[in-house]
Amino acid sequence: MSDNRVAASLFDVTGRGYAVTGGASGIGLAVAEVLADSGAHVALLDLHPGRVEAETARLRERGGKVTGHVVDVTDGDAVAAAVRAAEADAGRLDGVFANAGISVGASFTGPGWRVEEFPIDAWDTVRAVNLDGVLDTLRAAAAVLLPRGRGRIVLTASTAGLRTDPMVAYSYTSAEAAVVGLGRQAALDLAGSGVTVNVIAPGPFRTNIGAGFDPGEAVWRETVPLGRIGHTDELKGLALLLASDASSYMTGGVYPIDGGALALSHTPA
C-alpha cells in the first residue's frame, strides 16, 4: 500500500455520522466542513435557524451529506433529541463534537470594580451554554455511542481554561477550565468502552465569540508567537484527527491550538 493510501485509510471517515453543536458558524462550522468534505454525514446542531438553513444548503451544494437541526444546548432534553435525530439522519452515529459556546460580559479587574457588583446573570448565562450545555451534549453522545461500543466525543474548551486571560470574563475562563476537567474525567470513566473523549483548546480565532472585540493585529503579534489570530480552517486537521481512527489511542487529551500562545505565557520572565 502506498504512503498516500495509508494516510487516507487512517483519516477515512467516509460514510460515518457525526453531530456538531454550534455547527453553523465559527469553529463548529469548520469542523462540520472538514468532516463533510471528507465523506462523512454531518448534522449541524445550532441555535440560529437562519444559519442552520443557510450552511446546510451551502454544504450540500458542495456535495456534502449534511442535515441541520435547530437546538438550544441549554435544554438537555432537546440536545438528547437532536443527537438521536443526527443518528437517524446518517443511519449511525460515530462521533459528537460538543462545540457550542458563548462569551458574555467582560473581565472584572479594572479600577473601581467591587465584588458585590459581580454580574451573576452573565455568569449563569455562560455557564448554562459553555459548561452545562457541553455536559448535556456529552451525556447525549454517550447514551448513543456506548451501546455501539465505539465512538468519538470531542469537547471544545479554550486556552482561557488553561491559564489566566485578561481579555475574557470570569464566567468564560471558569467554564472553559471546567470543560477541560469534564473531558478528562469523562475520558477516564469511559476508558475501555470503545468511546474516547478529547478536548480541543483553541486560542484566538476569528469567530462570532470575538465579534465586536478585536484589540488589533499589534496585540496578536505581542501575545501569539506566530504573530496573528487564527483562521478556523486551521482547526480542521486536528478535528479530523480526533474524529478518525488515527486517534484510536488518544483519550483524555487536551490539545491547544493557539499559534504558540501558551508556550509564550509559560516562558519565564
Domain regions of the chain by residue span: 3-207+215-258
Q: Are strands 151-156 and 41-46 parallel, antiparallel or unpaired?
A: unpaired
For 103, phi then psi, to 5°, come to -135, 125
Quote the CA–CA distance of 72 and 82 in Å, as a whole number: 10
Set of cell numbers at residue 73: 444546548
196, β-bridge pairs: 152
The pLDDT of residue 264: 83
Q: Which fold has domain 3-207+215-258?
A: Rossmann fold (3.40.50)
The 10 Å Cβ neighbour count of residue 103 is: 26
Tell me which residues are annotated as active site: 172
Which has the closest alpha carbon to 95: 51, 163, 38?
38
The pLDDT of residue 207: 79
Q: Do 93 and 87 meet the contact criterion of CB atoms below 8 Å apart?
A: yes
Q: Tens of pLDDT along the chain (269 residues)?
A: 456 788 889 999 999 999 999 999 999 999 999 999 999 999 999 999 999 999 999 999 999 999 999 999 999 999 999 999 999 999 999 999 999 999 876 555 554 455 555 667 888 999 999 999 999 999 999 999 999 999 999 999 999 999 987 777 788 899 999 999 999 999 999 999 999 999 999 998 987 765 555 666 777 778 899 999 999 999 999 999 999 999 999 999 999 999 999 998 654 44
| C-alpha dihedral, 38 to 236 to 26 to 137, nearest 10° | 80
The pLDDT of residue 214: 60
Q: Do 240 and 38 meet the contact criterion of CB atoms below 8 Å apart?
A: yes
> Taking the mean position of all CA atoms in its chain, how far away is CA 134?
9
Q: Do 55 and 44 meet the contact criterion of CB atoms below 8 Å apart?
A: yes
